[in-house]
């Protein structure tokens, strides 16, 4: 089976994590995000993957190579300029087979895509959208269906006046089974949106949907969801290969001093150090070569390669990019994101989603609430 994965967005909502690297290869727990998608797809018989790239394609290729690590063959395509979700598909047409999967490149999921393909074959659909339930559909594509799965309406990013005030909505999961004939609906060499220009035109015309109500599904495109995904992978709420590394929720190959506390689930990578009196976890990842000093706490957070957390600092519900340094007694919390190589001095409080851009410096006691 073939799949085309859209990896062309700039990932603006995940900045500064995505300031220098594209969203699909941002480190997620212990591997590039795309590794999860490729492993999941491989489990559903996908062996040939076309990566539809825009932003920084060389970095994606450098991180994922020819795909052999994941048991798939990867082909990289780069649009001359961002063509939108359908324009990117059209640009890939010479590489596409009669039937293939199309995926948004930012979904962490274990949706049963085999069941979706089986339904697609049964109904003879032109396109079958994978659906998942959410309570608030406003950031997604809301899909209305009949009992037989035929789609009766597609509303991308519905406003409050378009919602019915119900508890559960079915939204497009960014997972599609497509017949090649869909390509005939897309103008070449144009920026075209599959959500606003193709799906509405296919309603009543071969557009079906297949809901999976028991799967895990998350769009990882914001710091809050990045952290949610990290904690769900560690807790095993989504089936991934990370679980193979954990024993009783722990993988500790780094240097944890006597008198340090590590609470599962947690990962301390090789070359990382956790000093006596420090507490790591639950829900913590300490990357290779990172350090956590005495009295510091890291929980529900990821501290990436080579970053350092000084004595008595607190990192909670936060993302610390590679080689960032956090000074003594500084608190980094509430979805704060420190970009790569940032330097934060002592006695700061960085919280409420604050983003420090790569390489920036925050002096001692400079930010407090
Ligand atoms: N190649 C290429 N070119 N890829 C693109 C482009 C482009 O011009 N624009 C966006 N993409 C990729 C992004 O990298 C991402 O993987 C995917 O297309 C979807 O873009 P997002 O920007 O993440 O869209 P969204 O999350 O707001 O909404 C989409 O996903 C939802 C599910 O997560 C829509 O498809 C919704 O209908 C859907 O519910
Ligand atoms: Mg998205």
Q: For the chain, give every domain's residue range.
A: 2-221, 246-362
Q: According to the model, what pLDDT value does residue 194 have?
A: 98
Q: Looking at the CA of 33, which ligand is closest?
A: 1
For the structural domain made of 246-362, what CATH number should be given?
A: 2.160.10.10
Give the per-residue pLDDT at 18. 80
Higher local confidence (pLDDT), 20 or 151: 151
Percent of the chain scoring above 90 in pLDDT: 90
pLDDT band at 279 (very low <50, low <70, confident <90, very high): very high
Non-local (6+) Cβ contacts of 256 within 8 A are 262, 268, 273, 274, 280
Ligand 1: which atom is nearest the Cα of residue 171? 39
In this chain, the answer to whether the domains covering 2-221 and 246-362 adopt an identical fold is: no
The answer to whether the CB of 140 is under 6 A from ligand 1 is yes
Looking at residue 344, its pLDDT comes to: 98
24 close to ligand 1 (CB < 6 Angstrom) = no
CA of 70 to the centre of ligand 1 (A): 23
Task: Evaluate the CA torsion angle 15, 18, 23, 28 in order and state its sign.
Answer: negative
Give me ligand 1 centre to Cα 170, in Å: 17
Stretch among 2-11, 37-46, 295-304 having the lowest mean pLDDT: 2-11
Q: Whose alpha carbon is nearest atom 25 of ligand 1?
A: 140
Name the token pair of 181. Answer: 């004939």
Residue nearest to atom 17 of ligand 1 (CA): 104
Rounded CA gap, 354 and 369, in Å? 12
219: Cβ below 6 Å to ligand 1?
yes
**The pLDDT value given to residue 149:** 94
pLDDT for the residue 17:
84
**C-alpha of residue 10 to centroid of ligand 1, in Å:** 10
Does the Cβ of 340 fall within 6 Å of ligand 1?
no
Q: Is the pLDDT of residue 182 over 90?
A: yes
Confidence of residue 57 (pLDDT cuts 50, 70, 90): confident
Confidence band, pLDDT 50/70/90 cuts, at residue 42: very high
pLDDT of residue 8: 86
d(CA 239, CA 255): 28
Task: Name the average pLDDT for the chain.
Answer: 95
pLDDT mean over 214-234: 95
Ligand 1 mutation pick, 4, 8, 83, 127, max ligand atoms within 8 A of CB: 8
Spatial distance between the Cα atoms of 326 and 367, rounded to a whole number of angstroms: 13
The span from the CA of 79 to the CA of 53, in Å, is 7
Report, as an integer, the average pLDDT of 356-361.
Answer: 95
pLDDT at 211: 96
Q: What is the pLDDT of residue 166?
A: 84
CA of 169 to the centre of ligand 2 (A): 17
More confident residue, 56 or 249: 249
CA distance 91 to 208: 24
Domain 2-221 carries which CATH code? 3.90.550.10
Is residue 91 pLDDT above 80, yes or no?
A: yes
Distance 106 CA to ligand 2 centre (A): 6
In this prediction, residues 314-326 reach a mean pLDDT of 97
- Would you state the pLDDT for residue 161? 87
């Amino acid at each position: 089976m073939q799949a085309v994965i859209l990896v062309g967005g700039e990932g603006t909502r995940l900045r500064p994590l995505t300031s220098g690297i594209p969203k699909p290869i941002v480190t997620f727990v212990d591997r590039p995000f795309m590794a999860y998608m490729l492993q999941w797809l491989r489990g559903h018989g996908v062996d040939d993957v076309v990566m539809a790239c825009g932003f920084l394609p060389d970095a994606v290729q450098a991180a994922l190579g020819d795909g052999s690590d994941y048991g798939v063959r990867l082909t990289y395509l780069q649009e001359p300029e961002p063509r939108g979700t359908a324009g990117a598909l059209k640009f890939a047409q010479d590489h596409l087979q009669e039937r293939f999967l199309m995926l948004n490149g930012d979904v962490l999921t274990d949706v049963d895509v085999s069941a979706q393909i089986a339904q697609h074959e049964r109904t003879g659909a032109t396109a079958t959208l994978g659906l998942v339930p959410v309570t608030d559909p406003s950031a997604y594509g809301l899909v209305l269906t009949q009992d037989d799965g035929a789609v009766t309406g597609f509303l991308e990013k519905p406003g409050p006046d378009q919602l019915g005030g119900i508890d559960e909505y079915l939204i497009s999961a960014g997972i599609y089974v497509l017949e090649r004939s869909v390509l005939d609906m897309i103008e070449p060499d144009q920026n075209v949106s599959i959500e606003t220009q193709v799906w509405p035109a296919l309603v009543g015309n071969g557009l079906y949907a297949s809901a999976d109500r028991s799967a895990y599904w998350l769009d990882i495109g914001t710091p809050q969801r990045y952290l949610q995904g990290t904690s769900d992978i560690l807790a095993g709420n989504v089936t991934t290969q990370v679980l193979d590394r954990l024993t009783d929720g722990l993988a500790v190959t780094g240097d944890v001093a006597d008198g340090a506390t590590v609470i599962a689930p947690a990962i301390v990578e090789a070359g990382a150090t956790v000093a006596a009196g420090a507490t790591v976890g639950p829900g913590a990842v300490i990357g290779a070569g990172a350090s956590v000093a005495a009295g510091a706490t890291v929980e529900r957070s990821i501290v990436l390669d080579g970053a350092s957390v000084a004595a008595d600092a607190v990192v909670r519900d936060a993302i610390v990019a590679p080689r960032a340094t956090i000074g003594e007694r500084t608190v980094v919390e509430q979805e704060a994101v420190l970009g790569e190589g940032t330097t934060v001095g002592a006695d700061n409080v960085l919280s409420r989603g604050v983003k420090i851009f790569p390489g920036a410096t925050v002096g001692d006691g400079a930010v407090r609430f």
